[in-house]
Amino acid sequence: MIRKGLLLLLIVAGCKKSDNKPSPAIGLLVDAYTIDGKATSPTNTSTTPAINIKFSAPVDRATIIPGNISFTENSGTAVLYNATYASGDKEIILEPTKPLKHLTSHTVSVNNSIQSAAGGKLINPPVITFMTDIDSTQKFPTISDDSLLTLVQKQTFTYFWDFAHPVSGLARERNTSGDLVTSGGSGFGIMSIIVGAERGFITKAQALTRLQTITSFLKNTAKKFKGAFPHWLNGATGAAIPFSQKDDGADLVETSYLMAGLLTARQYFNGAAPAEATLRADINSLYNAVEWSWHRKNNENVLYWHWSENFNFEMNHQIRGWNECLITYVLAASSTTSTIPKIVYDNGWAQNGGIKNSTPYLGITIPLGDPTGGPLFFSHYSFLGINPNGLSDQYANYQTQVVNHTRVNYEYSKANPKGHYGYSNLVWGLTASDIPGGYTASSPTNDIGVIAPTAALSSMPYTPAESMNALKFFYYTLGDKLWKGNGFIDAFSLKTPWFAESFLAIDQGPIIIMIENHRSQLIWNLFTSCPEVKAGLSKLGFTAPYL
């Protein structure tokens, strides 16, 4: 009994001694945070946000120092802020001392050096990211819609006039290309020069002189492969520059864009003066020299895209629709020296009817190709010269084709199923363009959040109201980011944000040309006035008011 009582006394005494020790501090937690009252990190934050961080216990104010809570722009530049407290120091409200930059990503990082008033260390330090909203102020004075269209054409025109290669007069592939010029983009550039002359940006005499330089270079200096041109050329020497290892020879599609531009110029310079007559003769010589039928590869009923002196037809790329290549079949059929029969068009381009589509997408049916339509340049490149209005064959009504293709692209961007910040009825247009770190053909099936201004602007004849609304937003609201020396930059993304520093010939040209087709049908009327083109379209089974 005595021993048991003594043991009990010792246990009780030991417990009382342990209870006198201080309890360890309970860890501090971030329970939640809000930005302007929103529970998630928003992508459309005001430039004067209130960032509220809620803790599980009162914080030790002495540990709330800039080193423990950093506030930075995406560039790493520190943002100065004020910190206030609420709910008995269980909440910290951070507010920048001056408005943040618009369309800029920011990060608030809280580290675990922050402690509770009881000494508990922060267990779950958050990293809070957000992007500020678009600056909705108007960047340029309001002008009439007609004046705005002229301004866009004129400034974009400088890419093909002021920035053309000084020796050949041909269009550089992009604004960083040096001597590298592009055959297809130069075709777009030739059409743009005609628009420039007609709009008074240059005189018709200046345009003639430039076209003489171009045609002389193409005829006498540039490397040709059975009359066809490579994708890329050296603008000073005329040597072919390989587009890829085996793509070092003829590119029939690029050649067709170049020929479409030249034929348009031939129709424009229709005067009796010897200089204009010589220009027309040179253009006829260049067009007639193209051996279109050679690209059937042993008389197959399909055209092949590439042929090389070194690799023959090894690239094995058949030209089949729906894509940007209708013009290639039309000009091949139009040739009076190396034509193709209709069966090549039917079997090759139209895949014996396999080109047709009857499946709607977003409630809209595109007659040809994938139900989603693909990138918008499919409805631009061939139709810079070919007027789709009233144009039909056994496979489609091409006015319906290009309009519905554009409408699908517009409705997709407006619906924004991937939730890309900024997409709307004012910010739309998916096509091939530069992207961060590369290049891609954007479309509803390949949407990474990059918009190319050329997509909506070059669709002006098809969706005039929607395209004009996009143009106004690009110019008036985003103009400080998008509007530069040669017109609109190639592409942008508001979700990152990212703004290209590039201009591409194949994107700038369609803007000028299609705006003009919307305004006056100038290029459509010139190209489709070619007797060969009329005959070629009719030969392939097309009907149109202009045939």
Residues 294 and 363 in one domain: yes
Q: How far apart are CA 75 and CA 105, in angstroms?
A: 9
Residues 6+ apart with CB under 8 A from 229: 183, 218, 222, 223, 250, 251, 254, 255, 258
Asked if residue 237 and residue 112 are part of one domain, the reply reads no
- Specify if 43 maps to a domain: yes
Tens of pLDDT, residue by residue over 315-328, are 999 999 999 999 99
Per-residue pLDDT, averaged over 255-267, amounts to 98
Q: Which of 222, 227, 284 has its CA nearest to residue 252?
A: 227
pLDDT single digits (tens) 408-428: 999 999 999 999 999 999 999
Closest listed residue to residue 188, CA positions, set 381, 423, 389: 381
CATH code, 121: 2.60.40.1220
Are 364 and 422 found together in one domain?
yes
> How much of the chain exceeds pLDDT 70, in percent?
95
Burial label, 12 (beta-carbon count in 10 A; 0-12, 13-18, 19+)? exposed
Q: What token pair was written down for 35?
A: 């930005």
Residue 6 has pLDDT above 50, yes or no: no
AA letter at 172: R
3-class SS of residue 308: strand
pLDDT at residue 21, as a whole number: 52
Residue-wise pLDDT tens digits, 188-237: 999 999 999 999 999 999 999 999 999 999 999 999 999 999 999 999 99
392 found inside a domain: yes
pLDDT over threshold 90, residue 24:
no
Q: Is the pLDDT of residue 137 over 70?
A: yes
- Give percent of the chain with pLDDT exceeding 90: 92
Whether residue 405 is found in the same domain as residue 520: yes
Pair 160, 215 in one domain: yes
Average pLDDT, the chain: 94
Q: d(Cα 294, Cα 52) in Å, to the nearest integer?
A: 71
pLDDT interval class at 4 (50, 70, 90): very low
pTM of the predicted model as reported, rounded to 2 decimal places: 0.91
pLDDT of residue 20: 52
546 within some domain: no
Are 365 and 508 members of one domain?
Answer: yes
Residue 171's pLDDT is: 98
> Which of 88, 104, 131 finishes a domain?
131
Query: Average of pLDDT values for 27-44?
Result: 87
Question: Has residue 511 been placed in a domain?
Answer: yes
pLDDT at 468 over 80: yes
For residues 51 and 199, membership in a common domain is answered with: no
CA distances from 11 to 2, 4, 6, 19, 400 (A): 14, 11, 9, 13, 94
Range of the domain at 303: 145-539
Domain end position, chosen among 101, 131, 161 = 131
410 and 527 share one domain = yes
Give the pLDDT score at 163.
Answer: 98
Total domains, the chain = 2
The residue type found at 142 is T
Q: Are 370 and 430 in contact (CB under 8 A)?
A: no
Is residue 356 domain-shared with residue 274, that is, in the same domain? Answer: yes
Task: Give me the CATH number covering residue 284.
Answer: 1.50.10.140
Same domain, 120 and 238: no
Separation CA 520–CA 316 (nearest Å): 40
pLDDT at 227: 98
Which of residues 98, 131, 164 is at a domain's end?
131
Per-residue pLDDT tens over the stretch 371-406: 999 999 999 999 999 999 999 999 999 999 999 999
3-state helix, strand, coil in the chain (%, to 5): 40, 20, 45
| Per-residue pLDDT at 306 | 98
Compute the average pLDDT of residues 538-544. 98
Query: Residues 6 or more apart from 331 whose CB is under 8 A from it?
Result: 256, 259, 260, 287, 292, 533, 536
Kindly state whether residue 544 falls inside one of the protein's structural domains. no
Task: Band the pLDDT of 16: cuts 50, 70, 90.
Answer: very low
